Each structure stands twice: as C-alpha cells, then as structure tokens.
Amino acid sequence: MPKWLENAVFYEIYPQSYYDSNGDGIGDLQGIIEKLPYIKELGCNALWINPIYDSPFMDAGYDVRDHKKVAPRYGTLDDVKELLSTAHDMGIKVLFDLVPGHTSDQNEWFLQSKKAEKNDYTDTYIFTKSVWDAPPQYRLMCGICERDGNYLVNYFSSQPALNYGFYDITHPAWQMPSDCDAAKNTVELIKDIMRYWMDLGVDGFRVDMADSLVKNDDEKIATSKIWAGIREMMDKDYPECALVSEWCNPQRSINDGGFHMDFYLDHYGNGYSTLFRYLVDGENKSFFSDSAKGDLSTFLSEYNVNYPATKDNGYICFMTNNHDMPRATFYMSEEMIKLSHTFMMTMPGVPFVYYGDEIGMRYQTDLVSKEGGFSRTGSRTPMQWDSSKNLGFSTADESKLYLPVDKSDDAPTVENNIGRKGSIYENLKTLIALRHEYEDLRNGSDFELVHAEKGDNLFIYKRGEFTVYFNVSKEKKEVKLKNVGEIVFMLGDYEINGETLILDGRNAVIIKG
C-alpha cells in the first residue's frame, strides 16, 4: 500500500474546463501546471485528471482513440512530463484516467477487429458469429462493418467493449471464456498502457467502469481476478502507484480486486445518495439537506459493514461530486455544503474534491449537451477564477469557449471566495488543513458511531481523541458532551453548559481531547 495515500486529499480536474493557457477556448495541460500552486494552497496533494488521450470526444475522452497519444487540444507529451515533474516537486501526485472496458470505435485496435479477414485484433472486441446473430439482451451494433457479426458496446454506440471473455457462457458460438488467450491478451494490452504512463511518472489511475470487464459475471468473480493480477504487477513494479475504482462495491473492489481505493458513488437510494442527493418526488430527503427530512440509516447500514470489512486493505472514497452528476449546489445550500464537507474531510478513507466545488460552483441547466455530456454537461463548465473576461478561464471570444461560463451576476469565483470568512473555500481549506494536521482525523483511527437516531437530525462520531458533532436542523439542539477539550473547528455558534453542548442550527463542531 503506497504510504502517501494515508494523507492524500485529491482534486479532480476536468481538463477541458480548468484553465485555458493559450486562449483557444479550451483548458489544457499548461493551464493545469499554472494552477498547481492554487491547488496546493487549498491543501490538495493529489490530482485525478479525466482522460487527456487522443479521442474523437464522443464521450468527453472516455472514448480513447490512441491510448499513448495526448489529445493535441490539451498539449503534448512534453507538457505531460512537465506537469508530472512540477507536480512532484510540489509534493502533488497525479492519477490519470484509465478506460479499460472499451475504446473509441476509431481506435486502431477496433479498426483492425472489424475487418473481415482475421488478424491480431480479431478477438480483441466482442463480435457475434454472424450479423443474423443478435440476442436482444446484449447491446449490439448491428450490420455496420465488413466483418460478418455484430459487436457489443459498453456505453455509447461509439464505445465497443473490449473482450475480457464471459463468466457465464450463454452463447457458446461467440462468447469466449475469461481465461482464454484472447481475453488474456486484452489484459496485456491494458497493462502495457498502464506501464507506459507509470514509466513516465504517472502515480496511478482512476479506473473507469472497473467492474465492466468480464461479461455475464454478476458476482464479479472473473473481473476481480483480473484486477488482482494487475495489483500484483503494481506491487512488484510500481509499489508507489495507486488505483481507485469506479465500482462502488468496496468488498469486491478492494478485497477481491486489490484496488487501493473505491469510490462511494451516487447510486439513487444508496448510502451516498441518502446522505447528500436523495430527491423523492422532488422533495429532498437526504440527511445533509435544508429540509432536514433525511436520516442516516441507509448510509450506516452500508458503511458499518463495508468499512470494517475493507479498512485493513484499502480506502473508501467520499467525493464532493464528480463529472457525472449534478453539482452539490443543485441539492444543498451553502451552509449544508459546508456541513457535508465537514463530514467528508473527517471520515476515514481518501476524500476527493471536484474542481469548482471548493467555491460552490453551480450546476448549469439548459445547456446543450457537449461531447456526450447530456445531463452531465452542467457540471462540466469552466472553472470560475475571477471577475475578468470569461471569469478568468480563457481570453478567447465567448463564442469559442468549450462551454459557457456561469453568467449569473453573483457567480462564485476563486477571487470572491478566498479570504472571505465563512466562504465554502475557506471552510474547506480549514478542514483539509485539520486532516493533514491530525492523523486521527484521516486514517489514524477508526470511525466510531456515537449517535444517529432517525428524526433528530444529529450525528455524532468519534475519530480517536476527536468527536465530531453535527446538527443539520434549523433549530438549536442540546447534546451530551462526549469530550471536554479543545474546540478545533466550528461552523456556527455553540455553548457548553456543564456536560451539555448546545449547538446552533446547521452547525458542526469538532472537539479534541
């Protein structure tokens, strides 16, 4: 296990929208390099950058055309090297995005695979035996290539699934077992790409749709086995590199697959969703919501099982948001966001901050879909730096921007957040600093539930010698003090009266000792 993960706080960058260094309207690698001091100042010491590879951008780069080539719009391989060395000099690790399940339909491997004559890539993707063979339970693209067969896609139509074989073989005419040579060869192709970037200095990968590899593998037995093999390679040759999975099943991902980290994703009605984003018939029923109508039961029923089962092997990752879902501001007020950050930065695991969430950027509605973003587009708009042209994102004409910037008069920016007492930014920065200062608040001690009862809007837990108290309701609440010590953090006012802590509404307090 790489030691640096223990104290890592990640920052996710959607490169298109971070900072445009050359005025062509789209963010780029030099732009990220320029903003590293800003990221460092916030307290983040690791980055996850969404795909920067050559791509036709039918899915914002998750459709990779050439895994070893940098998309010219972001820069060159030299820019990658400069980014890595600059970041490393500043103590910042860099994870790239690995898309192992599929490629673009313009990838050279696929162009070979769809040819009629047999070649080295014939079995790199999944084709049915003939074009008349199209079982409806599979997502197949039919009748569009020279080769007599239909191919399986993973996500959009332009993303053919790579062949890692099938666990349950239901159509033996074309489904191969997951331990066949062709499937093993696909694993080698992916390992080769991983090695390429790690040899250049990349510190690991966020793995896209990590559970998608082997088909008809409901229990993910064969898929986990592939990842366990990849973890062996990492331990042997890249022991300081890390993998985080887009999976949301830590027992499978971490324990079976050997991932160092697994994301707690927003799946409607699950623990993450009911904490932050649970809309029921338009009404917000999440725990961290202004309506204060939620509770912690779903979250705790998952976490109390998954956390103890995986804590010795890896980390569960809380994220403020990512590029696939509406921004937190769509669900929560500024006050509630600050409470949610207090939670995320004081839980075990490794937290991830999505660019712009540190200043409360808003989810933009009514945007035309960009590069396969659809409803996700509104969370992918340019970073808002200051009050200058295009909010400091780019000097290009507005019409040339990758996506429009937030046009509201009161658009949050870095400039109007920094130094303002009580801003989301200042609050998050304080919390990250506490996490770096105290081992107990990160992974040095266990999560111990002290209080969570349906309906009272309170949440109290211990982390070693610290106790974290939340009151998410509007009203003042009294709780029994668990520890009398130094107040290291507070969001609002509180009073201590003997053994009682009186918390103002929408408040969080952290007490040490």
Q: Strand ranges (DSSP E) for 16-139?
A: 46-49, 53-54, 66-70, 93-98
Q: Are the C-beta atoms of 150 and 127 separated by less than 8 Å?
A: yes
Smallest distance from ligand GLC to CB 322, Å? 7
Distance CA 134, CA 147 (A): 14
Nearest approach in angstroms of CB 105 to ligand GLC is 13
- Tell me the two tokens of residue 376: 């996700």
Rounded to a whole number of angstroms, the minimum distance from the CB of residue 27 to Ca ion is 6
Report the distance separating Cα 84 and Cα 201, nearest Å. Answer: 7
In angstroms, what is the minimal distance from the CB of 74 to Ca ion? 8
Contacts with Ca ion, residue ranges (CB under 5 A): 20, 22, 24, 26, 28
Of the candidates 327, 228, 321, the one whose C-alpha atom is nearest the C-alpha of residue 10 is 321
In the complex, what is the shortest distance from the CB of residue 29 to Ca ion, in angstroms, rounded to a whole number? 9
Total binding residues for ligand GLC by CB under 6 A?
Answer: 9
By rule CB under 6 A, what string of x and - marks binding of each residue 176-215 to ligand GLC?
A: --------------------------------xx------
Amino acid identity for residue 314 in this structure: G
Closest CA to 132 of 108, 109, 148, 151: 148
| Residue 105 near ligand GLC by CB under 6 A | no
Rounded to 5 degrees, what are φ and ψ at 375? Answer: -65, -15
Contact 355, 13 (CB under 8 A): yes
Q: Which of 99, 261, 292, 401 binds ligand GLC (CB under 6 A)?
A: 99
Residue 59: name its binding partner from Ca ion, ligand GLC, none (Cβ under 5 to 8 Å by kind): ligand GLC
Which residues partner with 512 through β-bridges? 466, 486
Q: Report the phi/psi class of residue 425: left, alpha or beta, with left for phi > 0 and alpha for psi in -120 to 50.
A: alpha
CA dihedral 498, 503, 507, 509 (to 10 degrees): 0
Which residue reads 């390099």 in tokens? 33
CB of 25 to Ca ion, least distance (A): 7
**Is the CB of residue 27 less than 8 Å from the CB of residue 67?**
no
With CB atoms as reference, the residue minimizing the distance to ligand GLC is 62
Q: Residue 81, Cβ neighbours under 10 Å: how many?
A: 13
Judged by beta carbon, residue 99 or residue 336, the one nearer ligand GLC is 99
Say if residue 356 is exposed, middle or buried (CB neighbours under 10 Å; 0-12, 13-18, 19+).
Answer: buried
Residue 262 binding ligand GLC, by CB under 6 A: no
Query: How far apart, in whole angstroms, are the C-alpha atoms of residue 103 and residue 114?
Result: 13
Nearer to ligand GLC, 155 or 299 (CB): 155
Q: How far apart are CA 467 and CA 464, in angstroms?
A: 8
In the bound complex, what is the minimum distance in angstroms from residue 324's beta carbon to ligand GLC?
Answer: 5
324 binds ligand GLC (CB under 6 A): yes
Residues 140-179 that bind ligand GLC (CB under 6 A): 155
Q: CB-wise, 153 or 468, nearer to ligand GLC?
A: 153
Residues 494-513, mask of contacts with ligand GLC (x by CB under 6 A): --------------------
Residue 415 binds: one of Ca ion, ligand GLC, none (C-beta under 5 to 8 A by kind): none
Q: Are 459 and 339 in contact (CB under 8 A)?
A: no
For position 48 contacting ligand GLC by CB under 6 A, the verdict is no
DSSP class per residue in 11-67? EEE-GGGT--SSSSSS--HHHHHHHHHHHHHHT--EEEE---EE---SSTTSS-SEE
209 binds, among Ca ion, ligand GLC, none (CB under 5 to 8 A by kind): ligand GLC
Q: Is 74 or 363 the residue whose CB approaches Ca ion more closely?
A: 74
> Cβ atoms within 10 A of the Cβ of 77, count?
12
Contacting ligand GLC within 448-477 (CB under 6 A): none
**For ligand GLC, which is the closer residue by CB, 149 or 372?**
372
Question: Closest by alpha carbon to 362, among 423, 407, 400?
Answer: 407
Comparison of 169 and 396: residue with beta carbon closer to Ca ion: 396
Pick from Ca ion, ligand GLC, none: which does 20 bind, CB < 5 to 8 A by kind? Ca ion
203 binds, among Ca ion, ligand GLC, none (CB under 5 to 8 A by kind): none
DSSP state of 252: I
The distance of closest approach from Cβ of residue 69 to Ca ion in the complex, given in angstroms and rounded to an integer, is 17
Kindly state the smallest distance separating residue 65's Cβ from ligand GLC, in Å. 14
Q: How far apart are CA 179 and CA 475, in angstroms?
A: 59
Spatial contact of 414 and 425, defined as CB atoms under 8 Å apart: yes
For the CB of residue 167, give the shortest distance to Ca ion in the complex, in Å.
Answer: 44
Between CA 450 and CA 184 the distance in angstroms is 48
Q: Which is nearer to ligand GLC, 209 or 244 (CB)?
A: 209
Pick 396 or 418: Cβ nearer Ca ion: 396
Least separation in angstroms between residue 224's CB and ligand GLC is: 19
Separation CA 58–CA 497 (nearest Å): 60
Q: Which is nearer to ligand GLC, 208 or 406 (CB)?
A: 208
Closer Cβ to ligand GLC, 59 or 262, answer by number: 59
Q: Binding mask 55-74 vs ligand GLC (x if CB under 6 A, - otherwise)?
A: ----x--x------------
Binding residues for ligand GLC (CB under 6 A): 59, 62, 99, 155, 208-209, 246, 323-324
